[in-house]
Structure 1
């Protein structure tokens, strides 16, 4: 109780307001636009192949300008955009400017049906991908930098909560009984404009990152004012002293400018934290979560569920993801980052083995046999997999990267880590289907092996960062 009491005593209403505006306003673009096309794939693909494109000279091969193109442009836009804005404009103004891409992309997608232009639809997905990539690169840093040390993990988890909640929202709105129809899918894609407008109106009332103001802009006055607003008290000397200590260390090491990506790769003192950051992002994406989410309906059908039952089982999986992420917010400061990472990956390993067993039993069942027990068990294994993912491997890598680096190194480190995250996302989402067709259910053996590798790596090399300053964390590497 002492730990949780200390955590929540530091959380003020001003901080809650700022976290909601930043976390959910930006996380919406990441989560909602990741999940929304999965629900209307057949509807949009049919429309693309039948529409009359005014710029037909550009898009002559309609067979390739379909769902795969929309997913490709979205993911690659994210990879490229993660290296933009964070160090140039600061956290607050980067997110404000980012909504230009949100409004432009949402408008293009909305009007694409009216204009019968699938080029507009793909262009809109590209702009939304840029917005999602910038949000993923900046938001975890922003949340980490405004958080009191004792609540840094809980507040950092909010970004993952926003992603999971908006993926679930996209699944619900994408149902045919809601907005997943030939007439309403443009409105479904345009929903992304709403949080963009809300953030444009509300973020100006929030302060910029006090750490960014103090260490990057050398503006101690505005940093103090921002801290006083966020903490709702006049005495913020402890936070300012922490910033001053970090600044003295950077000055002593002759780190007077932003650390570049090449510095992270070539300087020994940054190499180990960077490898840890990259490995945690790979653990998040390559442990099998995207294969489960993207193709959960097919997994359920292969295990014996009907199409309708499988769709609702997928919604249940999304709800479990949201609920357990909320639980992670409550316990991350009590049990620590490393403990939850190991517990989550270990649980995922057990569920992967259980799911593989279910798929094998279903393959060996007679055609007329009703594998109701196997089907039920497969649902339990998939939901359990997602729940264990949401405990640690889902939320923790997003904010853990910010905890490993000083202020001047943080933008470049986040850009590299998030870029690797999106690249791994792309690799798994594109390779799972051909691998599944080639290996069948044995494809999950590959994920089990990767999970074992990540468990061993985290146990051996990843430090615990709970309730430690950046300088205390960096000292662990020395």
Structure 2
């Protein structure tokens, strides 16, 4: 059985003695320019993020079509709440099996499987005559989403050069937001069955695209497929590129990685990992329980309840989400994680209070002319402040604070907690609104206020620090 000292030795060796794989270096140790060979990296990334777009399309589907589906299929609030929230239940199942599928079958096979589940789900929704078919379809879509949420960023990170890895990986989050926005905008003008058919298009694009891109070289090396590994790396770097040194570095990395002891779930509760696990899981809790999936899944219902035109509101929501997410990507490494999260969370508190105020005035029949304005200001402010920080920072921070030997297990646990939170919020929203519309958003405001205290007390600033520095500080 490996001791803590053995584990630290392995971690240190992995961090210090191996250089970043999938990078070409010259004789002087400097990275060689590979821009002329990057077209395959870009194509592979594009194919992968069609899954991210599909992810967003699935998430955004339920909001703009709620009134039409409930009218056409005569669904109760409870039945539609199950339909809206079962997506996240399916995603929990997908996320819990995604690592095993991607490791056993490969990254491309996992993405292909996700696409098939989503296609089946969309077809079940399109042909639905009642709530049962709707729920089965939504569950299948959720399962595919859960796999996408793991395998897409992993695949991109494993094929991209170091100097492009951050930018290419963030395209995953941007495309999710774009998919959500697309569903909001198109759903405002098309029927829900047509929107379901359109949801199949990204899946078909991925299935076709996967035939033209290589498998992850790192996965092939890990599985011992030497010839396929060399061929994939050559295809990514260009037919005339010298991959000999890079090939050796990848193999050295894999050999060193396999020397680390296999981590079990209960190992995460060791004292040396307690703070990193608390921060990683805590960020997922505050991200979800601040109400994001309630706002995302039921935007049109919130606008309708407040007396604001739903189509205008959902289109505005969609546009703001994409623009602010792009802005947040540029701020990530300039402003720092903590400042972005603090500004984001403080804004979420204010936004929730604005929505709560609008519903309070509506319930008590006070200042009716102010109700729609407060509601739309609150909802658009909510998605703007969420997109600038709380949307992406928890995922970035989670990837930074876990030591490499527990990263897989700890990351899976944090992801599962995130989906559990998403399901809880999306399922309970309609019931909370029936209890008290303004009380619901006061609860979300309170959670976001407590989140500020959590961030101030526990979250380390990771901007400009190496992974070794971050993990040494947080786990000491």
TM-score exceeds 0.5: yes
Cα distance change of structure 1 residues 144 and 338 upon mapping to structure 2, 3 Å threshold: farther
Shift of 1:296: 3.2
Q: Does 1:39 align with 2:37?
A: no
Following superposition of structure 1 onto structure 2, how do residues 105-124 of structure 1 map, counting pairs within 5 Å? 105-110=121-126, 112-113=127-128, 116=129, 119-124=132-137
Which digits, 9 at most, give the CA deviation of each residue in 1:414-438, with x for residues without a partner? 3222221121111112223333333
| 1:153–1:399 Cα contact (<8 Å) kept | no
| 1:155–1:329 Cα contact (<8 Å) kept | no
Task: Report the Cα distance in structure 2 between the residues aligned to 1:64 and 1:34, rounded to whole angstroms.
Answer: 18
Which digits, 9 at most, give the CA deviation of each residue in 1:132-189, with x for residues without a partner? 11111222333344444555443333222222211222122223x4224xxxx1x321
Shift of 1:213: 4.5
Scaled by the length of structure 1, the TM-score of the pair is: 0.78
Following superposition of structure 1 onto structure 2, how do residues 380-395 of structure 1 map, counting pairs within 5 Å? 380-395=377-392
Q: Which residue of 2 aligns with 1:203?
A: 210
Q: Which residue of 1 aligns with 2:316?
A: 316
Q: Which residue of 1 aligns with 2:434?
A: 437
Shift of 1:466: 4.2
| 2:83–2:131 Cα contact (<8 Å) kept | no
Task: Report the Cα distance in structure 1 between the residues aligned to 2:462 and 2:34, rounded to whole angstroms.
Answer: 18
Task: Provide the secondary structure at the position in 2 that maps to 1:15.
Answer: helix
| 2:103–2:219 Cα contact (<8 Å) kept | no
Task: Provide the secondary structure at the position in 2 that maps to 1:429.
Answer: helix
Q: Which residue of 1 aligns with 2:104?
A: 88
Match for residue 18 of structure 1 among 44, 49, 58:
44
Task: Report the Cα distance in structure 1 between the residues aligned to 2:247 and 2:174, rounded to whole angstroms.
Answer: 26
Q: Does 1:171 align with 2:174?
A: no
Task: Report the Cα distance in structure 2 between the residues aligned to 1:236 and 1:80, rounded to whole angstroms.
Answer: 40
Shift of 1:386: 0.8
| 2:57–2:182 Cα contact (<8 Å) kept | yes
Q: Which residue of 1 aligns with 2:15?
A: none
Task: Provide the secondary structure at the position in 2 that maps to 1:437.
Answer: helix
Task: Report the Cα distance in structure 2 between the residues aligned to 1:68 and 1:437, rounded to whole angstroms.
Answer: 12
Shift of 1:240: 7.3
Which digits, 9 at most, give the CA deviation of each residue in 1:185-214, with x for residues without a partner? 1x3213222111111121343344444455
Following superposition of structure 1 onto structure 2, how do residues 62-73 of structure 1 map, counting pairs within 5 Å? 66-73=79-86
Shift of 1:10: 8.7
Cα distance change of structure 1 residues 356 and 45 upon mapping to structure 2, 3 Å threshold: closer
| 2:77–2:430 Cα contact (<8 Å) kept | no
Task: Report the Cα distance in structure 1 between the residues aligned to 2:375 and 2:170, rounded to whole angstroms.
Answer: 28
Q: Which residue of 2 aligns with 1:475?
A: 472
Scaled by the length of structure 2, the TM-score of the pair is: 0.78
Match for residue 291 of structure 1 among 294, 300, 303:
294
Cα distance change of structure 1 residues 236 and 15 upon mapping to structure 2, 3 Å threshold: farther
Q: Which residue of 2 aligns with 1:57?
A: none
Q: Which residue of 2 aligns with 1:404?
A: 401
Q: Which residue of 2 aligns with 1:279?
A: 282
Q: Which residue of 2 aligns with 1:131?
A: 144
Q: Which residue of 2 aligns with 1:188?
A: 195
Shift of 1:241: 5.6
Task: Report the Cα distance in structure 2 between the residues aligned to 1:452 and 1:10, rounded to whole angstroms.
Answer: 47
Structure 1 unmatched ranges of 5 or more: 1-8, 50-61
Q: Which residue of 2 aligns with 1:27?
A: 52
| 1:137–1:414 Cα contact (<8 Å) kept | no
Task: Provide the secondary structure at the position in 1 that maps to 2:119.
Answer: helix
Shift of 1:47: 4.5
Aligned length: 436
| 1:18–1:206 Cα contact (<8 Å) kept | yes
| 1:337–1:465 Cα contact (<8 Å) kept | yes
| 1:48–1:65 Cα contact (<8 Å) kept | no
Shift of 1:79: 0.9
Q: Which residue of 2 aligns with 1:98?
A: 114
| 2:91–2:147 Cα contact (<8 Å) kept | yes
Which digits, 9 at most, give the CA deviation of each residue in 1:257-290, with x for residues without a partner? 4x343433x4444443332222222222111222
Task: Provide the secondary structure at the position in 2 that maps to 1:82.
Answer: helix
Shift of 1:126: 2.1
Q: Which residue of 1 aligns with 2:30?
A: none
Moved more, 272-281 or 319-328: 272-281
Cα distance change of structure 1 residues 436 and 66 upon mapping to structure 2, 3 Å threshold: closer
| 1:157–1:328 Cα contact (<8 Å) kept | no
